[in-house]
Amino acid sequence: MAVCNVCFRHCHIEEGDLGFCGARTCRDGEIVCANYGRLTALALDPIEKKPLARFCPGSMILSVGSYGCNLRCPFCQNSDISWSDTAFSMAKGTGVHTMSPEELAAIADSCRKDGNIGVAFTYNEPLIGWEYVRDTAKLVHGIGMKNVLVTNGTAELAVLEELLPYIDAMNVDFKGFGEEYYRRTLGGSRQQVMDFIERAARDCHVEITTLIVPGENDSEEEMHEISGWIAQIKDGGGSVIGREIPLHISRFFPRFHMTDRAATDVRWVYHLADIARGNLTHVLTGNC
């Protein structure tokens, strides 16, 4: 047995078993990345789909995903590769394609002719397979291309420090300002995500996405809290940089295990965006 130190869970994993995320295992007494190079999705996407609004706008990026996640969002839009029964079957070797970092970097390079600027690690939670992200991102930087991370931010800062030298931009899901919401509904840690965002913003282009779920995180007060907290984020020298961090406010649709409520009212999304603009310069709406 060994202890995984990727996120706040610190799973104690027996030899050959998987951690909570379904993607890390104990092998010969050490925790390793079980989904290393095991891909479920590969697509050339507009950078705006990540979403990134103020990083290389108008460009394309090769987007890659694996399987597994360390949260349990009941409204997950990628449940087939995150934490559904299908995702857990992938941990046993079905429905995945193995690709080395060298192969992925070569594909990214070959897509330059189509406007590709690099690789985006996305779709499932990339931080649970951070070793593959690191190894690939090094090679991508080596050929003069860029790396993007789309993440829930649920990872220890030691993991972030391993990746920051190779990541050019990231979008982090900040799912709400309620610790109870994070713990009870999502199975996560709000504070870990906040610490992650504050550290990342010092050395990386960061944008943030908040999905507005009716009855969970959709109050005016909570949007004041979210945008106000973002606005006070500082760089390494102590200067406030948070007001310039883009916030994407997205509309919820009933999905997966959360079909007991209607989609977020479009007018309410726009209203919350107006509230956020009282604290932030760049506020965008999505899925409207």
Phi first, then psi, for residue 240 (nearest 5°) are -75, 125
- Residue that has been written with the tokens 């932030």 in this structure: 280
How far apart, in whole angstroms, are the C-alpha atoms of residue 55 and residue 93?
A: 35
CATH number at residue 266: 3.20.20.70
Indicate whether this model's pTM tops 0.75: yes
Q: What is the CA radius of gyration of the chain?
A: 18
Q: Which residue(s) pair with 205 in the sheet? A: 169
Outline where 171-282 has alpha helix (H).
Answer: 179-180, 190-203, 220-231, 266-276
Q: What is the pLDDT of residue 83?
A: 78
Number of separate domains in the chain: 1
How does DSSP classify residue 277? T
pLDDT value, residue 84: 62
Residue partners of 150: CB distance under 8 A and separation at least 6: 50, 120, 121, 122, 123, 126, 170, 171
In angstroms, the CA 13 to CA 70 distance is: 14
Under DSSP, the state recorded for 185 is I
- Give the rounded distance of the alpha carbon of 95 from its chain centre: 22
Predicted pLDDT at 164: 98
**Average pLDDT for runs of 10 along the chain of length 288:** 97 96 96 96 97 98 96 93 71 78 98 98 97 98 98 98 98 96 97 98 98 98 98 95 98 96 98 98 96
With a pLDDT cut of 90, the percent of the chain lying above it is: 92
Cα dihedral 58, 59, 60, 65 sign: negative
Question: What is residue 96's predicted lDDT score, i.e. its pLDDT?
Answer: 83
Spatial CA neighbour of 83 closest among 20, 168, 170, 11: 20
Is residue 69 within 8 A of residue 82, CB to CB? The reply is yes
Predicted local confidence at residue 94, as pLDDT: 64
Q: CA-to-CA distance for 66 and 83, rounded, in angstroms? A: 12
Q: Are 176 and 194 in contact (CB under 8 A)?
A: no
Contacts 24+ apart (CB under 8 A), 139-144: 139/101, 139/102, 139/104, 139/105, 140/105, 140/108, 140/166, 141/166, 142/105, 143/105, 143/108, 143/109
The two tokens of residue 61 are 């990026």
Q: Which domain holds residue 218?
A: 2-286
